Amino acid sequence: MSYRATPVADDAPEKITVTGLDFFYGDFHALTDITVGIKEKAVTAFIGPSGCGKSTFLRCFNRMNDLIPGTRAEGTITLDGQDIYAAGVDPVDLRRRIGMIFQQPNPFPMSIYDNVAFGPRLQGIKKAELDEIVQTSLERANLWKETKDILGRNGLALSGGQQQRLCIARVLAVEPEVMLMDEPCSAIDPTSVQKIEDLMDELKDRITIIIVTHNMQQAARVSDFTAFFLQELAGEAAVLVEYDRTPNIFTSPKDRRTEDYITGRFG
Amino acid sequence: MNKNTANGIALALLWIAAILTVVVLGTVILYVFVNGIGQLSPEFIFTWPEGVAAEGGIWPTIVSTLYVTALAMIIVTPIAILAAVYLAEYAVQGRLVSTIRFAADSLASVPSIVMGLFGLALFVEAAGIGFSMLSAALALSFLMLPIVMRTTEEAIRSVPKYIRWGSYGLGATKWQVVSRSVLPASMPRIITGIILATGRAVGETAVVIYTMGQAINMPITPFDSGRPMTVHLYLLAMEGINLPAAYGTALLLMIMILAFNLGARYFLRRNRKV
């Protein structure tokens, strides 16, 4: 496996700190006692078998789970030291700071331009500034060359991989500090996967990225840190088994269960 | 019986049933077409009926029909869409919402003549609006409301979760998600619902006969009375005044409704392919 060339410094600050997080869907206890610190301007991968709660955990960071009735989070998650579940925190503001990319590319059924301008317009940014934001965002998502002459075309007319980069551009347009990526490459072709992985490498100079992936090679390729989640028995809450620098996880895991998973003994 | 024979018989029955449907529709259309086509001419469409036998054209009845339909559409559309947004997006799903939905479905199945009687009592008489475009449009809007509301609700519900989440993920408030993502994404289907309800209103007779009046009149303000095409057709045929003109009116009415339905299909299709 190949790993990233420039490791993040040991004393890099934590952007997000999770302490003793438990998460519930109604009566179902999905995650238990998760404690983890996400380093700023690094890529952190969440790996683990299907149904182990990695996506659920990811959606805690921008409180997207609030949209699912009957869910509840206990414990604390802080962003730059501020508790995001504290009373008085508006999830709408939080989601502006923490963007999200989904498994299924989800451009809105409108033009490429309007897709990228969507977030800035929500904040009331005026037309004069929009052109520049749209161009910069598409450039940062490595999609400008392909789309600069077809900005008026419907976003759904793009290929799957381009659609996913459009969604990244759309998130970048609101200048988030963190980008959550929920299996962003599982529904697109291999060439596009390569482009998105390269893109993550470029973006992490400016933003903190957390990616959920089923693909261990991908986790090894793109991430600086890896967290391994596991639900040991069906119906039980998932736990964070091990969290470390990515090369350590893949070459010298400390926990037997991590080793079994990455060597393909289950999952 | 051999299973291949059974299969063959079942297939034949299904095929006959399907063909029968088409034949019935084809017969009706053909019959009206053959009897009415001789009447259709620019004079028939654009001139007034004259004399006791209503010779000449049907222009004021066409205008009355279009007038009342447009007015009803203007009344129905905002109410139906707001109600549907509330039901689909805001209301706590439970007994109240299913009651509202059941009420809407029941409203859609109330016989239109009952709605006409109600319109007569409420708008024409109690409210004192009299026989008029407005009374008829209000009564028609009762018929159209559940159709538009339910199709809009279905359209809103069918917007994929991913679209909503994408919008929330960019820091949209609930209202921004609804107004900027969900409604635009469901607009083709909403407009289709409006067009179909409009087609229903164009062909409606029982409601308007009670509320618009029967005098042949060119409506200018919403308080003017008039005679819509359907009522004109009914009077010409039932009182044996002018049967050829009745067929001509019928054919024109069918063409208009067909145009509405085709328009709805075209609109849906154009928006489906990207």
Distance from C-alpha of B160 to C-alpha of B186, rounded to nearest angstrom: 10
Q: Are strands A28-39 and A14-25 parallel, antiparallel or unpaired?
A: antiparallel
Separation in Å, CA of A90 to nearest CA in chain B: 10
Consecutive H or E run containing B31: helix B3-36
Residue A267 binned pLDDT confidence (cut-offs 50, 70, 90)? low
Confirm whether A206 is domain-assigned: yes
SS3 content of chain B, % helix, strand, coil (to 5): 75, 0, 20
SS3 A20: strand
Q: What is the pLDDT of residue B251?
A: 94
Q: Which residues of A touch B180 (CB under 8 A)?
A: 118, 121-122
Q: What is the CATH number of the domain that holds A254?
A: 3.40.50.300
**Looking at beta carbons, which pairs linking A135-143 to residues 24 or more positions away fall under 8 Å?**
A137/A169, A137/A170, A137/A172, A137/A173, A138/A112, A138/A166, A138/A169, A140/A169, A140/A172, A140/A202, A140/A203, A141/A165, A141/A166, A141/A168, A141/A169, A141/A172, A141/A199, A142/A195, A142/A198, A142/A199, A142/A202, A143/A168, A143/A169
Q: What is the pLDDT of residue B274?
A: 44
pLDDT, one tens digit per residue, over B119-128 is 999 999 999 8
Scanning every residue of chain A, which has its alpha carbon at the shortest distance from the alpha carbon of B89?
A67
pLDDT, one tens digit per residue, over B142-164 is 999 999 999 999 999 999 888 99
Domain borders along chain B are 3-36, 43-272
- Number of domains chain A is built from: 1
Residue B261 binned pLDDT confidence (cut-offs 50, 70, 90)? confident
Confirm whether A3 is domain-assigned: no
Measured between CB atoms, does A108 come within 8 Å of chain B? yes
pLDDT, one tens digit per residue, over B11-69 is 999 999 999 999 999 999 999 999 999 888 888 888 888 877 778 888 999 999 999 99
Q: What is the pLDDT of residue A1?
A: 61
pLDDT, one tens digit per residue, over A169-206 is 999 999 999 999 999 998 888 888 998 999 999 998 89
Chains A, B: CB pairs < 8 Å: 65
Distance from C-alpha of A84 to C-alpha of A51, rounded to nearest angstrom: 25
Q: What is the pLDDT of residue B268?
A: 78
**pTM, entire model:** 0.81
Separation in Å, CA of A154 to nearest CA in chain B: 7
Question: Which numeric CATH code is attached to B43-272?
Answer: 1.10.3720.10
Measured between CB atoms, does A179 come within 8 Å of chain B? no
Residue A4 binned pLDDT confidence (cut-offs 50, 70, 90)? low
Confirm whether A4 is domain-assigned: no
Q: Which two tokens stand for residue A156?
A: 């759904």
Interface of B with A (CB under 8 A): 160, 162-173, 176, 180-181, 184-185, 274
Q: How many other CB atoms are there within 10 angstroms of residue B132's CB atom?
A: 23
Q: Is the pLDDT of residue A45 over 50?
A: yes
Contact between B218 and B226 under an 8 Å Cβ cutoff? The reply is yes
> Which domain, by its residues, includes A80?
14-262
Distance from C-alpha of B236 to C-alpha of A126, rounded to nearest angstrom: 60
pLDDT, one tens digit per residue, over A50-94 is 888 899 999 999 999 998 889 999 999 999 999 999 989 999 999
CB contact under 8 A, A167 and B166: yes
Indicate the residue type of B97: V
Q: What is the pLDDT of residue B131?
A: 93
Confirm whether A94 is domain-assigned: yes
CB contact under 8 A, B165 and A102: yes
Confirm whether A123 is domain-assigned: yes
Q: Are strands A71-79 and A82-83 parallel, antiparallel or unpaired?
A: antiparallel
Measured between CB atoms, does A92 come within 8 Å of chain B? yes
Q: Which two tokens stand for residue B237?
A: 């045929």
**A 112-151 residues with CB < 8 A to B:** 118-119, 121-123
CB contact under 8 A, A118 and B167: yes
pLDDT, one tens digit per residue, over A130-174 is 999 999 999 999 999 999 999 999 999 999 999 999 999 999 999
Confirm whether A9 is domain-assigned: no
CB contact under 8 A, B171 and A118: no
Contacts with A22 (C-beta within 8 Å, 6 or more apart), sequence order: A29, A31, A32, A33, A34, A73, A74, A75, A237
Confirm whether A251 is domain-assigned: yes
Confirm whether A1 is domain-assigned: no
What's the complex ipTM? 0.89
Q: Which two tokens stand for residue A147?
A: 């789309």
Q: Is the pLDDT of residue B254 over 50?
A: yes
